[in-house]
Amino acid sequence: MPLPPRVVPWTSNEEYEQVYSWLYAEAPDFHLRELGVKRVKAWKSRGRVPQAIETTAGFVEISLRDYFESGRISSHELRLMYTMVFIRFVNGLVDAEQNKQFAQSVAGLADKLNLPAWFVDLRHAGTHENLPSLQTLRTGCQQALQWLNDNYWSVKKTYPDCITEIREQLSTYKDLGKQFSKDPKRTMNPNADNSPSQKALREIISLNDPDTLKLMLIPVLLENGFLVPTGKKKRSTLPELNLSQDLLALWTPLFQRFDGTWKSFGDDLVAGILDQFDYDETPFKISGISDPTQDENTKRANRSTSYLLTLTAWLKHFVKSYYTKEDVLLSSLQMDDLLEGCLRKPTVYTRNVLLTVVEYDPELGKRLSPFIKFITKSLSNKNNIKNFKDVPALTDGDMQREIHKLKARVIKVFGETREDEETSDSMEVDANDTPQNGDIDGLESSSKWKLYDVDLWTSCPFGTLPGGVVPSLDLPLDLDGPNSLVR
Q: Give residue 182's pLDDT band: very low, low, confident or very high (50, 70, 90).
A: low
Residue 25 burial by CB count (10 A; 0-12/13-18/19+): exposed, middle or buried? Answer: middle
358 with 368: CB under 8 angstroms?
A: yes
Q: To which H or E segment does residue 61 belong?
A: helix 51-68
CB-side neighbour CA atoms (13 Å) of 141: 26
338 with 277: CB under 8 angstroms?
A: no
Q: Check residues 485 and 1 and name the one with the higher pLDDT.
A: 485
Q: Give residue 291's pLDDT band: very low, low, confident or very high (50, 70, 90).
A: very low
122 with 176: CB under 8 angstroms?
A: no
Averaged pLDDT, 41-61: 90
d(CA 199, CA 396): 65
20 with 4: CB under 8 angstroms?
A: no
Q: Where are the alpha helices (DSSP H) in 346-446?
A: 348-360, 362-384, 396-414, 418-427, 437-445
Three-state DSSP class for residue 381: helix
Does the pLDDT value for residue 60 go beyond 90? yes
d(CA 95, CA 307): 37
d(CA 222, CA 200): 18
Q: How far is CA 263 from CA 221, 255, 267, in A?
A: 17, 12, 8
Averaged pLDDT, 15-31: 88
Q: What is the pLDDT of residue 156?
A: 67
19 with 41: CB under 8 angstroms?
A: no
**Cα-based angle 13, 18, 19 (whole degrees, multiple of 5):** 100
> Whole-angstrom distance between the N-terminal and C-terminal Cα of the chain?
56
Residues 6+ apart with CB under 8 A from 432: 396
Q: What is the pLDDT of residue 326?
A: 80
Three-state DSSP class for residue 70: strand
Does the pLDDT value for residue 55 go beyond 70? yes
DSSP percent split of the chain into helix, strand, coil, nearest 5: 60, 0, 35
18 with 29: CB under 8 angstroms?
A: no
Phi, psi of 469 (to 5 degrees): -80, 130
Q: How far is CA 190 from CA 194, 277, 353, in A?
A: 9, 33, 32
Q: Check residues 118 and 434 and name the one with the higher pLDDT.
A: 118
Q: Which of 7-21, 173-187, 336-350 has the lowest mean pLDDT?
A: 173-187
d(CA 293, CA 295): 6
Model pTM greater than 0.85?
A: no
Please report, rounded to a whole number, the percentage of residues in the chain having pLDDT higher than 90: 24
Residue type at 387 in one-letter notation: N
Instruction: Tell me the range of 278-282, 296-300, 328-332 where mean pLDDT is highest.
Output: 328-332
The total number of residues shown for the chain amounts to: 487
Q: To which H or E segment does residue 146 belong?
A: helix 134-148
Does the pLDDT value for residue 6 go beyond 70? no
DSSP label at 73?
B
Residues 6+ apart with CB under 8 A from 17: none
Does the pLDDT value for residue 312 go beyond 90? yes
